[in-house]
Amino acid sequence: MDKIAITEGLILMKAGPEDVKGIARVCREGWRATYGYLEDESYVSSVIEEYYNEKRIENEVTEFSENWHGYFVAKEGGEVVGAIGGGTIGQEIGEIFVFYMNPNKRNRGIGTKLLNYYTDYQKNIGIKEQWLSAQKGNEKAIPFYEAKGFVKQSEKRSEGSGKHVSIRYMREV
């Protein structure tokens, strides 16, 4: 599905190399807005540098596999305002690995449109269940995901961290 959806001034599409800087910016700003109040600054900076640097995102935009479908973006006025990425984790089981919005564009329905666009992509390749993880205490994402039909399945301590608790969510699509 390489089709582009245009709705209410938004362009929803699979990301390309020209979107790397915008994806990096949205993910960095979104991660900081989401977790910055839960974590100390050195941890926030180290996560942002490891996962949301332009080199890594460039690789993730251009390299695809069954386990990683690349990034999909929402653009407004030519600017990336939301980014979502995922892949498959099993037979007919999809995962959303990353999903961030420009913090100044939240609560305008853009995230819902981007999630729906990506979900349609996953359904078109045979996905029946969609999974994701959210950090316990993430009061920006958890209510959003639950409103979209994701149901809590389990909690576990995140690998490599004694204090982070990850909540696994799933919905049928």
Q: Where are the alpha helices (DSSP H) in 86-140?
A: 110-124
Computed from CA positions of residues 157, 159, 163, 169, in that sequence, does the dihedral angle turn out positive or negative?
negative
Token code pair at residue 104: 């100044």
For the entire predicted model, the pTM comes to 0.90
Span 63-112, pLDDT tens digits: 888 899 999 999 999 999 999 999 999 999 999 999 999 999 988 899 99
pLDDT at 4: 79
pLDDT at 14: 95
- For position 167, which CATH number holds? 3.40.630.30
Which residue segment(s) compose the domain that 32 sits in?
5-172
pLDDT at 161: 54
- How many domains is the chain partitioned into structurally? 1
pLDDT at 26: 97
- Label residues 131-166 b or e (16+ Cβ within 10 Å = b): bbbbbeebebbbebbeeeebeeeeeeeeeeeeebeb
